[in-house]
Amino acid sequence: MPGWKYSLSLAAALLFALALAWSSLGRQIDFWAYDLLLRALPPSQQKSASVIVAIDEQTLETYGGLLALRSPLAQALDILSQADPLAVAVDVVLSEPRTPEENAPLAEALGRIPTVVLAANLRAEQGAGWEMPIEPFARHAAAVGHAHAEPDPDGVCRRVLLAKAHDRTRLWSMGLETHRVASGAPPIAETPQHLELGDARIPASYRDDRQLLLRFANPAQPIERISLARLLEDPSLAETVRGRAVFIGVLVLGGLDRYLMTPYSYGRPMAGVEINATVYETLARGRFLQPVSPATALLAALLIALVTAWIFHRFSGRTAVLFGAVALLAAHALPVVAFLQDAVFPASQSLLVGWMCFGVGAAWNYLGVGQARDRAERQTERYQKAVHYVTHEMRTPLTAIQGSSELISRYSLPEDRQRQIGELIHKESQRLSRMVEMFLSVERLSAGELELHRESVDADQLIAESVERLRPLAARKRIQIDHQPCDDAPIDGDRELLEYACYNLISNAVKYSPADTAISVRAWRENERTFVSVEDQGYGMDPSELRDIFKRFYRARTADRSGENGSGLGLALVEEIVVGHGGSIAVESQIDRGSRFTLDLPAALERTEP
C-alpha cells in the first residue's frame, strides 16, 4: 500500500468529514441522534416533582374565556395554598391593567402565598421588550421569571436559556425561579461554568448562554395535571400538590400561543406551561445533560480516524474490513455511551469521520488486494516461463547423452571414436550437473546452508577469466569488452561463488546489449572494501523494475526485446552470494542508455607472516 498517498487520502477524508459535521447537515444529524437517544433512553419512571393546574377547554368554557380568568385564578390559588405546595408558578402573563375591582381578589390571593412566581414575557415584535406583571400582582411575587423557550433551528425545543436579558433587565427562567423558591430561596450565584443555588450546582456555562438541556419526563408517566375547573369544583383535588411545585398555565389542545415541538412531540406540540414545568423537573431531579467540549469531541474524532487508518494499514483483505467494521461500530456506540453518562456527544462527528475513514480504508484495501492478485498472476507467469526455459535447457544435454550412450551400446565403434563419445557424455553431464547445482545453490544460499570457503581472491583475476570465457559470445555481436586492470583488489571470500557472480554480471551485460556497443569492467579498492563494476550501453531497464530483478524468476520488460533466453535466477543468486559475504549490490539503469552493476565486498586484509 503506497504510504503517503494512503495517508493523504485519509487526511482529506477526515477534513471533509469534519467540515460536513460542522455544517448545517452535521447539526441536523446531531439533532436527530439527540432526539433518538432521548426517546430510546428516557429517564426512569417516577412521580413528577410538580403538578400542572391546567387552564383547559373546560375551564375556558365554564368561566368565559381568558379575559375572565382573574377571579377563578384567585379562587384556585386559595384552594391550592391549603395544601402547602413548595411553590406556585403562575404561567399566565398578568400584564393588563384592568380595573382595581377586578384585580383586588387576585392580588389578595397572591399575597396569601409567600412562594408565588409570576411570568414575564418577551414580546415577539422587535423592540417591544418585557411584558411584566402589573404592580399590584408583582408586589406579592417572590420572583418574576421569564417564560420563554426558543426552538432550535429545526423548530424543535430541546433547551431553554436559564437567563434572558433585554433592555438591561435580565430575568432568570421561570422554572429556575420556581426551583429556587421551592428550595428555600437561596441566592443564585454565577461562575463561568455554573449557576450555584446554595450547595447545588447547575452546569450552564456562560459560553453557551446559560442553556439547560431539558430532561423531558418519561412519556409513560408525564407530569401530573389537574384541570383548574375541576379543582374549583372539587377542592379536595388540591391534596395532590402537597410538597410539590405547581405550574398554572393554559393547556388547550391545538392551542393558543407558546406551543412548541419537542423530541417527544411526534407532531403534537407541547404547551409553554409544560415546558416550564419540565425546566423545573430537570432542575429538581439534578441529573443534567451536558454537551461534551468541542476539544474532546475533536480528539475523539481524530482517535477514530487514527484507529481506522492503522487497521487498514496493518491488516488487509477481509480481516481489515472486519476490524474496520468494529471500529465503525465503536464510532456509532460513542454517542450512546456518552449519553448514558449524561454527556451529549456530537454524533455527526464520530459517524461522518468513522464512515469516511472506513470508506477510504476499504477502497485502498480493495485496490491493494487487486494489486496483490495481479502480482501473484505475474509471478506465476514468470515461474512458468522459467520452468519452460530450464526444461528446454536440460533437454539439449540429455538428448546428447541419450544419443551417444545408445551409439556406444548398439555398435562396436573404434576406440578413438568411443573415447570421443565418452568425453562428450562427460561434458554434457557436467553441464547438466552445473545447471542443477546452480538451482540448488540459490535455495541453499538463501536458507543459509551453503558454507563459504573464505580466502583472499583477486577480483581483477576473476574479471580477466570471465572476460576471456565471454569473448567469443561478445565477438559474435561485435561487442567490445574493456577491462581496466587493477593490481590491488583482493576480496575476502569464496572463489567459486565470486567467480560465478562476476561471470553472471558480465554475461548479462553481453546478453542485454545490442551489437556494436562496448562494456567496461573494472575492480578497485577503497580502504577495507573492494568494488567490482560492470557497465554496458545496452537495452537498460525501467528504474521502477530495479528492485525486482533480484527476485527469483523475474525478468525485466526489456529482456524480451533482447531476444535472449533466461531463467531470471542469475541475479537472485548473485545477490545471495554478495549478501552472504557481507556485501551489497547496486544497480543504475536507464532504458536504451545502459546499466551499471556495482558490487561492494569486504577486502582481504594483508596478513603479515611472523
**Which run of H or E residues covers position 454?**
strand 454-458
For the bound state, the minimum distance from the C-beta of residue 491 to ligand ADP, rounded and expressed in Å, comes to 20
Closest distance to ligand ADP from the beta carbon of 597 (Å): 7
Closest residue by beta carbon to ligand ADP: 566
Q: Which is nearer to ligand ADP, 496 or 592 (CB)?
A: 592
In the numeric block, which cell numbers belong to residue 252? 388547550
Residue whose entry in the numeric block shows the C-alpha cell 407532531: 267
Q: Which is nearer to ligand ADP, 293 or 384 (CB)?
A: 384
Cβ at position 399, least distance to ligand ADP in Å? 22
Which of 130, 512 has the CB closer to ligand ADP? Answer: 512
Q: Which is nearer to ligand ADP, 349 or 595 (CB)?
A: 595
326: cell is 468494529
* Distance separating the N- and C-terminal Cα atoms of the chain: 58
Whether residue 441 contacts residue 461, with contact meaning beta carbons closer than 8 Å, is answered with no
Smallest distance, ligand ADP to C-beta of residue 387, A: 13
Q: Smaller CB distance to ligand ADP: residue 358 or 512?
A: 512
Grid cell for residue 41: 433512553
Q: With both helix axes pointing from N to C terminus, report the angle between 24-40 and 3-21 in degrees, rounded to the nearest 10.
A: 70
Least Cβ distance, residue 549 to ligand ADP (angstroms): 4
* DSSP 8-state assignment for residue 68: G
* Shortest distance, position 582 Cβ to ligand ADP, whole Å: 21
State the minimum distance, in angstroms, from the CB of residue 392 to ligand ADP. Answer: 13
Residues that bind ligand ADP (CB under 6 A): 504, 508-509, 512, 536, 538-541, 549, 555-556, 558-559, 566-572, 595
Closer residue to ligand ADP, CB minimum distance, 135 or 592: 592
Cβ neighbours for 342, distance < 8 A, ≥ 6 positions apart? 287, 288, 289, 290
Sheet holding 194-197, edge to edge: 188-190, 194-197, 200-203
Q: Are 117 and 141 a contacting pair, CB within 8 Å?
A: yes
Tell me the three-class secondary structure of 43-65, residue by residue: CCCCCCCEEEEEECHHHHHHHCC
**Which of 525, 524, 511 has the alpha carbon at shortest distance from 481?**
511
> 10 Å Cβ neighbour count for 494?
20
Among residues 323 and 539, whose Cβ is nearest to ligand ADP? 539
Q: How far is the CB of 486 from ligand ADP (least distance, A)?
A: 21
Of 61 and 592, the one with the shorter C-beta distance to ligand ADP is 592
| Distance (Å, whole) CA 568 – CA 290 | 68
